[in-house]
Amino acid sequence: MTHADGALERLLDGNARFAETRSARPCLTPERRARLLEGQQPFAAILGCSDSRVPPELIFDQGLGDLFVVRTAGHVLGRCALESIEYAASHLATSLVVVLAHSDCGAVRAAVSGRNAPEAEWGRLVSAILPAVEEASGLPGDLVDNASRIHARRTAELLRSESLAVKEMAEAGRGAAVPAFYDLESGRVELLPG
């Protein structure tokens, strides 16, 4: 089992506790805070949406210092988000990056609503999500959720191709960038192919 496999298992175990309303709320003690004064060693990085209903530390039932979290609307990977993830991979030795999409995403909904608008009206956020919306068009099921899943997969692929630190981590067999989808209703995270 690689470090990334162990990190992923730890996240999924935490999510199972959260979804079953038996969260352990680990590492929230004054002693833990004192230990973190010496530095951080998060075991995973999460690129997730800014949506207040999707706090990674809670939905994965992790504590202080466990996760390096970068949040942007629609988990759009801009330059600052990319460099933040690279910092986690290269300086903090995280072995796993999870790109976390979620159901009923407002940013994806905006891209769905704006896809027929003139290009001049698209913001950077919507422009980044539109390719996933187009790919999801015509698929059975909810367009917003399908586009969110596709956007997570595309973002993980982009991380693997655009980030030297993430690429090196994966090639060395000491890490991975994986897409995932969080369902607001069930509280469950599902891993996505790709």
Q: What is the CATH number of the domain that holds 112?
A: 3.40.1050.10
Residue 73: band (very low, low, confident or very high) from pLDDT cuts 50, 70, 90: very high
**pLDDT value at position 1?**
57
- Alpha-carbon Rg for the chain in angstroms: 17
CA atoms within 13 A on the CB side of 83: 3
Segment 154-183 mean pLDDT: 88
- Confidence at residue 171, expressed as pLDDT on a 0 to 100 scale: 78
Domain count, the chain: 1
The pTM of this model reads 0.93
Percent of the chain, pLDDT > 90? 77
Question: What is the rounded CA–CA span in Å between residue 60 and residue 67?
Answer: 9
Mean pLDDT score, 169-182: 85
Place of tokens 């999510």: 15
- What is the span of the domain harbouring residue 185? 3-191
